[in-house]
Amino acid sequence: MIKVGIVGGTGYTGVELLRLLAQHPQVQLRAITSRKEAGMPVADMFPSLRGRVELAFSEPQQAPLTECDVVFFATPHGVAMAQAEELLAAGVKIIDLAADFRLQDTGSFEHWYGMAHSCPQVLKEAVYGLPEINRAHIKAARVIGNPGCYPTTVQLGLLPLIENGKKLIDTQHLIADAKSGVSGAGRKAEIGTLFSEASDNFKAYGVKGHRHHPEIVQELRQVAGHDDIGLTFVPHLVPMIRGMLTTLYARILPAARDTDFQQLFANRYANEPFVDVMPAGSLPDTRSVRAANTLRIAVHRPQGGEQLVILVVQDNLVKGAAGQAVQNMNLMFGLEETLGLTQIPVLP
The 10s digit of each residue's pLDDT in 103-149 is 999 999 999 999 999 999 999 999 999 999 999 999 999 999 999 99
Residues 6+ apart with CB under 8 A from 231: 154, 174, 175, 176, 213, 216, 217, 220
- Nearest alpha carbon to residue 242 among 177, 192, 187, 287: 287
CB 120 within 8 A of CB 36: no
**Helix 261-268 vs helix 149-162: crossing angle, to nearest 10:** 120
pTM over 0.85: yes
Give the pLDDT score at 178.
98
DSSP character for 194? S
What are the Cα distances from residue 169, in Å, to 75, 112, 164, 166, 289? 37, 29, 9, 6, 28
The 10s digit of each residue's pLDDT in 174-208 is 999 999 999 998 888 788 888 899 899 999 999 99
Interatomic CA distance for residues 135 and 68, integer angstroms = 23
CB 297 within 8 A of CB 311: yes
Strands 27-33 and 2-7: parallel
CB 113 within 8 A of CB 211: yes
CB 171 within 8 A of CB 239: no
Give the pLDDT score at 190.
84
Active site residue 119: no
Give the pLDDT score at 155.
98
Q: How many CA atoms lie within 13 A of 16 on its CB side?
A: 29
What structural domains does the chain harbor?
Answer: 2-125 (3.40.50.720), 150-316 (3.30.360.10)
- Indicate which residue of 149, 216, 252, 322 is catalytic: 149
